[in-house]
């Protein structure tokens, strides 16, 4: 079962590409095998009348219809893939305008840890490397960096965006299940890069509210 909205998007896009590729492969390889068997070389075989001859202009073969059919089918498949891809990109790059109180966090990358700041200004030391979010709510993250280029990614969530000083990249997701997931830096940022990991803690809404309300406002 998918754990987040982004994973659903990527899985369905992957499925669309895969199933179309399988359908095209089956048609192409079936025809290939059929023609290999049907037109195999036999003692009675002879050259067809329209065989190209060296030094002579080729005769029109009158296959315009099959060309139109194959070009049209290819166009339809490409258009379906383009629409599916742009739909997914649009969904992933368009964060919801309104999220619940406590569901929009600032993510700041440092050499070599992640700092998470909550809408009420909460930045207790234990939110270093631990991002708590409620399940079943849209979550919006404003990702930036305090020093060098980093890349914020959540493994299993299919989420990744650059963390760049002076710039804010917005990502969003909707967690489907509670549990812990690994946050990792995906851009070589110095000697501590490999240790730059964190935890996404997806909590029940009640547990998250209790934690969020108990945090001290600085
Ligand atoms: Cu890093």
Q: Are residues 173 and 89 in the same domain?
A: no
Cα 188 to ligand 1 centroid, rounded to whole Å = 6
In this predicted structure, which of 27-36, 109-118, 120-129 has the lowest mean pLDDT?
Answer: 120-129
Q: 118: domain range?
A: 104-214
Q: Alpha-carbon distance 100 to 133, whole Å?
A: 11
**Domain-located, residue 24:** yes
| 30: its two tokens | 């079936």
Cα 184 to ligand 1 centroid, rounded to whole Å = 8
Cα 162 to ligand 1 centroid, rounded to whole Å = 10
Q: Are residues 71 and 135 in the same domain?
A: no
User: Does pTM surpass 0.85?
Assistant: no
Q: Are residues 133 and 32 in the same domain?
A: no
Q: Are residues 155 and 210 in the same domain?
A: yes
Using one digit for the tens of pLDDT, what is the confidence trace for 132-182? 999 999 999 999 999 999 999 999 888 899 999 999 999 999 999 999 999
Cα 144 to ligand 1 centroid, rounded to whole Å = 11
**SS (HEC) of 77-126:** HHHHHHHHHHHHHHHHHCCCCCCCCCCEEEEEEECCEEEEECCCCCCCHH
Q: Are residues 79 and 180 in the same domain?
A: no
Cα 196 to ligand 1 centroid, rounded to whole Å = 6
Cα 13 to ligand 1 centroid, rounded to whole Å = 29
Residue 60 has pLDDT above 80, yes or no: no
């Amino acid at each position: 079962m998918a754990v987040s909205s982004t994973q659903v998007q990527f899985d369905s896009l992957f499925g669309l590409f895969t199933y179309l590729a399988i359908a095209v492969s089956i048609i192409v390889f079936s025809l290939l095998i059929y023609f290999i068997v049907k037109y195999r070389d036999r003692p009675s075989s002879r050259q067809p009348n329209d065989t190209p001859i060296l030094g002579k202009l080729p005769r029109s073969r009158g296959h315009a219809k099959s060309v139109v059919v194959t070009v049209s089918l290819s166009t339809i498949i490409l258009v379906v893939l383009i629409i599916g891809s742009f739909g997914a990109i649009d969904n992933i790059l368009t964060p919801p305008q309104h999220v619940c109180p406590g569901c929009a966090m600032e993510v700041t990358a440092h050499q070599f840890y992640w700092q998470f700041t909550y809408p009420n200004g909460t930045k207790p030391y234990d939110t270093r490397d631990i991002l708590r979010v409620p399940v079943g709510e849209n979550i919006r993250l404003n990702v930036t960096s305090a020093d060098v280029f980093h890349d914020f990614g959540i493994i299993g969530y299919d989420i990744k965006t650059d963390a760049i000083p002076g710039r804010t990249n917005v990502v969003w997701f909707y967690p489907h299940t509670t549990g812990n997931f690994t946050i990792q830096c995906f851009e070589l940022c110095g000697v501590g890069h490999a240790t730059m990991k964190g935890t996404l803690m997806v909590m029940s809404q009640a547990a998250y509210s209790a934690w969020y309300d108990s945090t001290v406002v600085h």
